[in-house]
Amino acid sequence: MDRVGGRVNTVPFGDGLVELGAEWIHGTANNRVYETAIANDIDVVNDDTLESEIYMSDGSPGDTQLISELMDFANKVIDDPPPVPEPLGQYVTRRVKEHIKEKYPQIANDTDFIESILFCIQLDTEVYESSNSWNELTTSSHFKDLKGHQGVSWHRHGYKTFFEILLNTYNNGPGYPNLDIALNKEVSRITWPRQPAEDAVVSCSDGSVYRARSVIVTVSLGVLKERHNTLFSAALPSEKTTAIEKMSIGVLGKIILSFEKPWWPKNMTASTFIWKAEDRKSIPKEDIWTSMMSGASFGLGTSNTLTLWLCGDAARLVETLPEDVVKTKSMEILRRFMGRDTDIPEPTAMLRSSWYKNPFTRGSYTYDNLLTPQYPNAREDLGKPLLDSAGNPRVLFAGEATNTQHYATVHGASETGYREAMRLLNNSKKI
């Protein structure tokens, strides 16, 4: 692409900066990203300690105490998997219904409310995982949270700051004179050398060719799924192609709206949308994507923008719709949920993500699907280097998908870059 950062993309918008991709630092203990910020005296903010509100689809405020307790229970259930793997949505649905029957018998027969809260939990889970359906997720996930706050914000600095620090350009740093970054270079072929004396060769679609001792490949699983058959010469080993085919990458979409000034309550950082069953069923088929919005967030990088969140097929569809349709329908949803007591003005501008449409990403991040229990070593296999005949690593693989426990995060991706760099450095000492 024409920039550094991959699936992190900070852009100027509103009266500050917004994130079209990764937004938060997840965890503060043993987190390479967080530690980098702190070491450079950057005042990141714990966004998950601030205020959120719950709104119903008829504009009324939700029963915050009840709904929050049920959503918290669902999150705890996810961290308490059954002994035999099953689809996550099926498991959470069963456990939540049992919990309601035991703790809230007065609403145990309110099928409309239970359907509404389960749909909210479903959307919340799918957005967090970037999955197309929570029943495509397995209860047997290998993901491990780091300790500490899970929603640390770069706020007015923007996530781009992490890359500025890595590149030594933060605070007008001079960069690294021996670092040559070639942008706008689409790689068409990576030649894996089998003989120790041969070079690894990277061929680009513009005809340029680069030769090196080793190559580290950091493209997304989505790109590997689409191109691995033509991207590598010779062909990848079967264990790696199996991992590529059996693993899953989802799509998380954002619609970001700016306004002349903020109209939402001061200090509010998020709103959750609860669809009443009858309201959701009344949505026309062509607009069904609007009912897949899980809520809005109000990032700390600006004071006058908000972000609507979508995932899966709805996110893919929004990438293709005309801008005026997305803007109009998004405002209808905002006014439906949050406009009962507030005169919501027209937005001044709109941005939206396009992680699926982008041929260099083809998705947002990976998740553990129903095949994970059958292929428990898939991420490890994906991350294994291709060796020459002497056992030297020549084509190496990094990126969040190759992290066995911290996938789907920036710190997880960063860990894998460090892992492969150290593999090469250690190997070079032996040669």
The stretch 109-138 carries a mean pLDDT of: 96
Residue tagged 């609860």 (tokens):
274
pLDDT at 319 over 70: yes
* pLDDT of amino acid 49: 58
Q: What CA–CA distance (Å, rounded) separates 420 from 423?
A: 5
Kindly report, residue by residue over 70-81, the tens digit of the pLDDT. Answer: 999 999 999 999
**For range 370-379, the mean pLDDT:** 98
All structural domains of the chain: 10-145+252-352 (3.90.660.10), 185-249+362-430 (3.50.50.60)
How much is the pLDDT for 110? Answer: 95
> Can you give the chain as a three-state secondary structure string?
CCCCCCCCCEEEECCEEEECCCCEECCCCCCHHHHHHHHCCCCCEEHHHCEEEEEECCCCECCHHHHHHHHHHHHHHHCCCCCCCCEHHHHHHHHHHHHHHHHCHHHCCCHHHHHHHHHHHHHHHHHHHCCCCHHHEECCCCCCCCCCCCCEECHHHCCHHHHHHHCCCHHHCCCCCCCCCCCCCCEEEEECCCCCCCCEEEEECCCCEEEECCEEECCCHHHHHHHHHHHEECCCCHHHHHHHHHCEEECEEEEEEECCCCCCCCCEEEEEEECCHHHHHCCCHHHHHHHHCCEEECCCCCCCEEEEEEEHHHHHHHCCCCHHHHHHHHHHHHHHHHCCCCCCCCCCEEEECCCCCCCCCCCCEEECECCCCCCCCHHHHHHCCEECCCCCEEEEECCHHHCCCCCCCHHHHHHHHHHHHHHHHHHHHHC
User: Stretch 347-370: mean pLDDT, rounded?
Assistant: 98
First to last CA, the chain: 34
Q: Mean pLDDT over residues 135-152, rounded?
A: 96
420 within 8 A of 158, measured Cβ to Cβ: no
What span, in angstroms and rounded, lies between the C-alpha atoms of 156 and 154? 6
Residue 431: pLDDT above 60? no
Give pLDDT, residue 430: 65
- What's the rounded Cα separation, in Å, for the pair 6 and 160? 11
Mean pLDDT in the chain?
96
Q: pLDDT value at position 427?
A: 81
**Residue 50 banded pLDDT, cuts 50, 70, 90:** low
Q: What is the pTM of this model?
A: 0.95
Residue 154: other Cβ atoms inside 10 A:
28
Q: How far apart are CA 98 and CA 20, in angstroms?
A: 38
Please name every residue paired with 369 in a beta bridge, in sequence order, or none if there are none: 137
Question: Mean per-residue pLDDT for 67-95?
Answer: 96
Cα 137 to Cα 194: distance, rounded to the nearest angstrom: 38
Of 11-15, 41-45, 263-267, the poorest mean pLDDT is in 263-267
**Predicted local confidence at residue 428, as pLDDT:** 75
Q: Which residue in 252, 336, 251 sits closest to 287, CA to CA?
A: 336
pLDDT top residue among 212 and 428: 212
CA 70 to CA 96: how far, in whole Å? 7
pLDDT on residue 23 = 95
